[in-house]
Structure formats: structure tokens, C-alpha cells
Chain A
Amino acid sequence: MSNYRIGVDVGGTNTDAALMLEDEVVATQKMPTTSDVSSGIIAAIKSVFEQSSVTPDMIKCVMIGTTHFTNAFVERKNLLPVGIIRIAEPAAKGVPPLIDWPEDFRNVIGTHIHSLQGGYNYDGSINSELDEPALYEVAGKLKARDIKTVAITGLFSSVNDKMEQRAAQIIHSVLPKCSVTLSSSIGKMGLLERENAAIMNASLAVLSKHVVQSFKAALKALRISAPFFISQNDGTLMSADYVEKYPVLTFASGPTNSMRGAAYLSGLKDAIVADIGGTTTDIGVLSGGFPRESAVSVDIGGVRTNFRMPDIFAIGLGGGSIVKTNPISIGPQSVGYELSHEALVFGGETLTASDIAVASGYANFGDKAKVNHLDKAKIKAAVEHIHSILAEGVDRMKTSAKPVPLILVGGGSVLIHNEIPGISEVIIPKNADVANAIGASIAQIGGETDRVYSYEDLGRDKSIEMAISQAKKVAINAGAEPEGIEVTDMEELPIPYMPGEAVRLKVKVAGHLNIGSMS
């Protein structure tokens, strides 16, 4: 029985592939990301096949992590104008949709904002009836303006989604081909943040179809018929069809994958992880093998969301960081993906952090002769500067003075050679440059439940136990191995003014993919 699987990371600069057999890394490959996405994937996977003589029919599963949607959103590229429908009036009037979005986003996403009567109360009872005639009118207007994607957000829809569902029916009856995002399917309590997430998601509707099609096309061209999954921000996997509908759930999956990959490759569960790329370094904290999550609301491209995200501190240090020697400065400007021809060691004309690492002798790539002329004292100063930038970033993420291990991953990990203050040891595991892809390949299958329990009737312990076992069932049905499923998130929300100590209990679990059961 050969349980081979492939993890792929499609980043802004590179597409990485890692071929895995159980716990073994069999082969890895780094390739430039291509504008059509699929040829980069094909090239990377072809290479791991050639290196290993594994054939496509031996692959049981492919896991893809991608920052494509995050990047598109942050860079405001390929976004669609969105028909924004809020169903909450007469409540929430003081805070209209898009209120806190950056101006340039508003111009891209558009001004098709419609606020209608409707919505529920905290207990799911009706606060105001859905104004259906008004919704038909809105649908007509959106049709006239040729809107292709709609985000619908209803008051308390995370408690009761019936009006959102009804609204989707009405929109589809007028605009059969329109893509519809319901806020209840991606967000939790908090009307504004949930609405923001729904609008973000809707703006990516065409891009998500395109990207998922590219993934499918790549795998087809490679003759891989195994199922493929895409990783989401909590480190669990989604099916391709799901991602097509909810691309927003992939946001921040990149840092999660690289940190999970770092834990896997180093065998450590508690450490600081620095993922050094071409332009920036993402620093995060591993706690029990999982990324520590951000305690505060996370802005993406300047838009507030309430997603649970890894707590990441980004600094402007990478392999392509531009070095100036008089006075000494490193980054944040970078040659980025042009490193392979802009850096001195690759025959270019820009002094980069990579050149410094080669010149000082601890990295070995490119043509060392091209940096021989650099002044020794200046190289030494630059090396110290690189280390001090990283040391400061690491220090900001530490929670105590106690020395902790630092795991370096990413292509830029070659920049670091010396000791870092406050760090017990610096570990650069084998295959550190493809930690993202490896993180994707070990992503888990999640299960989730969200329902109201009466603590008065059942007690807290019994209620939690029931919720966990329900979430585990969901995960097992989705393909998780029953053994070793762990609770990754639990939220208790008491519902005020309701009898019987009613508590809304949300439980998330995750377990390993039962790869043997894949066909």
C-alpha cells in the first residue's frame, strides 16, 4: 500500500511541491509561480515525480495551500464590483456597509449598497419582516448594472439564516447566474465584521472559479486523479468546491502552513518560527504544535475581520532586501522575485542581503567571485545588522525572557548564521525552504458544531462533552482518522435574558486525514 501524497504551496513568488510518504519527505521542488498558476504547479510536481520515480497513479491525495486570494485582495487585483445587501433595518442604521474600508477599495468594490428591512433578534425571533418587494427591486437594479456577485448580510443571521437563504432565492430568481455569498456561512457574531468577510468573499467570486479551475487543470494534465484539498486559515482542509464558494477562508493559510511545516520538520512543538522570504520575514509563535492566534481583530488590506488568525509580526527582511552600506541599511525595499537576476551573485547590479550571506562565506550559491570586491568591514557590519533586525522582531513575539528555540524556514533562512540573543538554539531543519508545502501536506481534517445547550438541564461538562463528540463525528465523516482528533477551538457564549442558562457552544476539532480510505 503506497500512501503517497503531495503538498503544494502557491505563493506570490514561488510554487513549492513536497512529495510525502507517511511521515517521510520523499522529494521537494521550488519553481517560480506563473501567471496562469497551473504551469508552475505542473512544473513543480513533475519534478518531484522525476526525482522519486513515483507515478501519478500512486498519489492518494493532493493538498494545496495558496496566498493567491489574500494577495489579490490586498493588492486590489481581479476583484469584482459587489452588490452589497444588508437586511437589518430599522436596526444598525448608524453604521452603514463599507464604513471603515479604505477609499480605494470602495472604488473597486463599488457603490451598489442596499439596506433593507428585515432581520432577527438574538434568540432567532423576527425583529423585522424581510421586505421582499424591495429585494426584487434591488435585484432588478443589480441586473441592470450587470452585477455578477452579491453579498447578503442579515441581522443575527449567525443565529438564524432563514432570511438570508430566502434573499438568495429571490436574487437567483432574477439573476440566475449571479454568485451569492451569505454572511452566515462564513462569519460569526458581529454584523460589521461578518458583512466585511461576506463582501471580501463576494469580490473574489470570479477569481476563485478561475484559480480552482487552474488547480484542477494542472492535476488533470499531470494525470493525477486523487482528490485534492485546499487549506484554510485554521490549518484544516476544504474541498475544491468549497473553496470555489468561499475563497476568503484561505486568508492567512500561508503563515499557518509554514508554521505547521516548521513544527513538523523540527519535531518541536513550542518555539518561535521565522519564515524568511524574498521581501519579508513573518515571525510567529508555535504553542503545542499550532500557531498562537491573534488576540485582536485582524485587518486584511485595511479591512477589519473577526477571523481567527495566527499572530504574526512581519518585518522587512528577506533574501532580496536591498543593502546600502553608507550608512548601513537593509530593506525594507527588496528586489523581490527578481532576486535570481538582480543580485550581484547572480550577475545583477543590486547589493542584496543574499549577497552579504554569500560574501561572508556562510551561504553558498551563485557566483562568489562577484562579491569578492566588497569591503570586509562593511560585510561584517551588514551581517550584524541583518541579525539585529531579526533579533528585534523575535524579541517582540517572545512572551518571557526565557531563551526559546528559533526555527528558520523559507528560502531566506540562509541569511542567518550567528547566534540570536534570547534564543536557546537556531534550527534550520532539512527542507526548510519548502516548509509551506510540507505544512499543507500535513493539514488536518476539521469538524465543527455550533448549537445552543441548556447548562441548567445538562450541566457544563456534559454539554461540552456532547458538543465535542458531535464535532468529532463531523470530522470523521469528512475523512478524519478517529484516533487522535483534538479540540482546536471552543467558544462559550452565554445568551443573556434566556431561561435555563442557555449557552451557545461552538466547538472545532481537527484530526489527521485518513489517507488509506481515499480512493
Chain B
Amino acid sequence: MSFIGLHNLDDFAYGAAFMGTGGGGDPYLGKLFIRQALLEHGQPTIMDLADVSDEAKIFCVAMMGAPTILIEKMFSMEDLDLAVRSLENKLGYKADIIIPAEIGGVNATVPVAYAAYRGLPVLNADGMGRAFPSLEMVTFNIGGVSCTPMSLANEHGETKVIETVTTLEAEQASRPIITEWGGSGMISLYPMTGKQAKETAVAGTLSLAVGIGKAIREGNERNDAIESLLRYLRTTDYFKHCAVVFEGKIVDLTRKTQKGWNVGFCHLQALEDPNDRMEVIFQNEHLVAYRNGRVATIVPDLIAIVDSETAEPIATEALRYGQRVKVIGTSAAPIMRSPEALKVFGPKCFGLDEPFVPIEQLVQTRE
């Protein structure tokens, strides 16, 4: 199977941006990376989770660092290859299959591009069905797969291999390296078997990204992008609980950097009623949306801010005062809402006091 090609790269990138929930970097750049790889190496095989043998050797690949750095430094497949080769050297075996860690943003496109470059299949699955800012925030970790050994590489040809007991330690060990390298690097991590992938990964998410992008594109052709997107989401297993939780314009934006994270507060106001307000808090990704002080959607459920007409997902760094937007909330994959999962990326992990409540219990999500 090979359903991501030059003809639908835009769909894939748009869908990945939606699932990036404001974070994960500029999908346009991700699209350029894939296109270059497809032009040079052809389409990669995309493999369903069910078709993977238990013994298959699977590696995660990703870009690590701030999106604001990425739009300058970008990177090349050679840099990523260096990271994968150094992990292979450490482990003494080669990767059979590549899997994305996150389907949101640029890191959805990096593994597809790399699979094409390396001539390996890529799994139609990832570790969250969205984007998250930290290495431990993946279902692989929750399912007991070790994050390390993990390799890092930069554009100067430097590599590092990290081995730690916990994933938190891996995060703490890798972050200073990335900072020293100027804020970005390429990584390969969570080496796992086919059996482990089948037990822990979020299945079908590459297809989902393509489907979301296609729904937005086709909706724009008919001038009903938002409706088209919602109609599609309702047909999916994971995102079927979905709603426009607010519609209005951005009236204030404050951002600050805390411990390397871009934390921000986006205030929206309804066009018709200035007293009807929403506050969206983001830390790289959107975490929680309050409508007039009440939670409307909260992490790990997905919050996307999109252009009110075209449904184009807007990344947190592209939010601007005065933009007319709609805020869309959707349910996360069931595996993401388990008590074990919430311990790793529930509201508390981001310093929020509110408990997780599924979106379908917070707002009207039916048509």
C-alpha cells in the first residue's frame, strides 16, 4: 500500500497540521521535505499495523526542537540518516520499518520522507494520534517500550547516544544537547518489535491525516470547509465526538517561554456578543479551551484553531490579533484517554488543575 504521493501531499500536510493542535511546526516545510524525498526516491510503502510481523524491528524518527528554529535551520535527510545509523550501530541490527512518534505537524512528514529516502516501509500508525511536546508523552512509553537507546544527530555531523532508565531522564538528558546544538536536532528512538508496536501504537493515523486534509480541500471547493471537516471527523473511530466550540476573533495574545516551552494565552471574542469569550492556553500545543470560564475541551482531547472560512489550521506561532477563527474540539483516540495514559499526558502533566473530562460530556458534539 502506498497512499501518500505527490498528488495528495497537501492533504496529508493539512491533516497533520490539524492533528498538530497548534504545535508541531509548519506543515508546509514538512510537505517540502516529503516532496523532495518522493521526487528523488519514489513513494514509500505504507504498512498497516495488522500486517507487521511480531519480530519486525521498528524505529521512531523525529525532529526535536522549537518550530521557530525549524523555519530557519530546516534539516536534511542526511542529518536524520546519521541519527538512525548511529542507533543501528548501538543496537547491532538494522531497522525494518519506520514509525512516526507523532502524527501532528512536521513530525508526521519526517518519517514518511525518511522511509522514502531509505527505501523502508512506514507504519500507518503513531504514538499519540496528535502532537505533544515531550518524549515521554507517547503510547509506546505507556505500554512499557523503552525510549532509549536513543540517538541524536545535528547538521554538523555530530551524534550522541543516550541510555537512561526512565523516559523522563531521557528527556532531561536530550534537551540540553538540543539547546547546545542551537535548538534543533534529528532523533531516532523507541526501538521496538512488531509485537510491541501492535500492542501500543495508535493505528490508522496516516490515513486519518490524509482524510482530514481531503475533507478540508473538498469543502473549500464547495465553500463549506468547516462542515465538510466535521462531517468527515464524525465518520472516524477516534475523532467522532467533535464540535465547533467557539467562533470569533482573536482579541489578545500573550506568549512567554517557560523552561524551553512556548506557553501562551489566546483570548477570543464572539463577533456578535463581546461578552461571549474563549481563552485557549497552549504549551507548544493547545491544552485547554475555556468558554466564559468553563472548560469546553481539555487535553488529551484535540483542540484546533482554524480559519473561520477555509478551515486552514493555524499554528500557535501564526496566531495574530484580529484573526477570524473557529475553535474545533475533538475526542482523542480511546487508548489516549485511559487512566494510565492520563498519568502521562493528562491535564495535570501540564500544570492544569481541572480533571480530564471527555469532550462529549462537555459540549454538544452531535449534529
| Residues in A lying within 8 Å of B, measured CB to CB | 88, 90-95, 99-100, 121-122, 125, 127-128, 155-156, 189-192, 287, 292-293, 295-297, 304, 396, 399-400, 402, 455, 460, 490, 492-498, 501-503
Contact = CB atoms under 8 A, between A and B. Distances in A.
What are the 5 A-B residue pairs with the smallest beta carbon separation, nearest first?
Answer: A94-B76, A93-B76, A121-B182, A494-B257, A90-B155
Contact of B309 (A396, A493, A502): A396
Contacts of A304: 28
B307 interface: yes
B314 A295 contact: yes
Given A95-B36, A190-B71, A295-B307, A494 B256 contact: yes
B272 A296 contact: no
B160 interface: no
B212 to A, nearest CB: 17
Contacts of B77: 94
Given A94-B77, A189-B68, A295 B320 contact: yes
A496 B318 CA distance: 16
Contacts of A122: 66, 68-69, 72, 182-183
Nearest to A194: B72
21 contacts: A92-B74, A92-B155, A93-B79, A94-B75, A94-B76, A95-B32, A125-B182, A127-B73, A155-B72, A192-B74, A287-B322, A295-B323, A399-B324, A455-B256, A460-B254, A494-B255, A496-B183, A496-B262, A497-B179, A498-B257, A501-B256
Interface string B174-210: 0000010011000000000000000000000000000
A182 to B, nearest CB: 16
B307 A296 contact: yes
A149 B179 CA distance: 37
Nearest to A287: B322
A95 B69 contact: no
Given A94-B33, A189-B68, A494 B262 contact: yes
Interface string B244-269: 00000100011111001110000000
Given A90-B157, A402-B272, A496 B260 contact: yes
Given A402-B272, A493-B68, A496-B183, A396 B257 contact: no
Contact of B28 (A292, A293, A297): A297
Given A492-B254, A493-B68, 19 more contacts: A93-B78, A93-B79, A94-B78, A121-B182, A121-B183, A125-B182, A127-B182, A156-B72, A191-B74, A287-B322, A295-B323, A295-B324, A297-B28, A396-B223, A396-B309, A496-B183, A496-B260, A501-B257, A503-B257
B364 to A, nearest CB: 21
A127 B69 CA distance: 12
Given A191-B72, A297-B28, A93 B272 contact: no
Interface in B286-321: 307-310, 312, 314, 318, 320-321
B9 to A, nearest CB: 11
A490 B254 CA distance: 12
Contacts of A293: 320, 322
B75 A91 contact: yes
Contacts of A88: 73
A91 B36 contact: no
Interface centre among B155, B312, B323, B324 (most CB of A within 10 A): B155
Nearest to B157: A90
Contacts of A121: 182-183
B312 A296 contact: yes
Given A296-B307, A496-B68, A192 B73 contact: no
Contacts of A292: 322
B156 interface: yes
A355 B317 CA distance: 49
Given A95-B29, A127-B182, A460-B254, A399 B271 contact: yes
A186 to B, nearest CB: 16
A90 B74 contact: no
B272 A400 contact: yes
Nearest to A490: B321
A502 B157 CA distance: 30
Contacts of A402: 271-272
A95 B26 CA distance: 14
Contacts of A460: 254
A190 B257 CA distance: 20
Contacts of A495: 257
Contacts of B223: 396
Contacts of A493: 68, 255
A351 to B, nearest CB: 29
A96 B307 CA distance: 30
A51 B156 CA distance: 69
Nearest to B257: A494
Nearest to A501: B256
A313 B75 CA distance: 35
A154 to B, nearest CB: 10
A296 B325 CA distance: 12
A493 B321 CA distance: 14
A442 to B, nearest CB: 22
B28 A99 contact: no
Contacts of B66: 122, 496-497
A497 B271 contact: no
B183 A94 contact: no
Contacts of B157: 90
B68 A191 contact: no
Contact of A95 (B33, B308, B321): B33
B30 to A, nearest CB: 11
Contacts of A497: 66, 179, 183, 257, 260
Contacts of A503: 255-257
Contacts of A498: 257
B266 to A, nearest CB: 12
Contacts of A296: 307, 310, 312
Given A92-B73, A396-B309, A501-B256, A192 B29 contact: yes
Tell which of A121, A128, A293, A295 has the most Cβ of chain B within 10 Å. A295
Interface string B66-92: 101101111111110000000000000
B32 A100 contact: yes
A189 B317 CA distance: 11
Contacts of B260: 496-497
Nearest to B271: A400
Nearest to B320: A295
Contacts of B79: 93-94
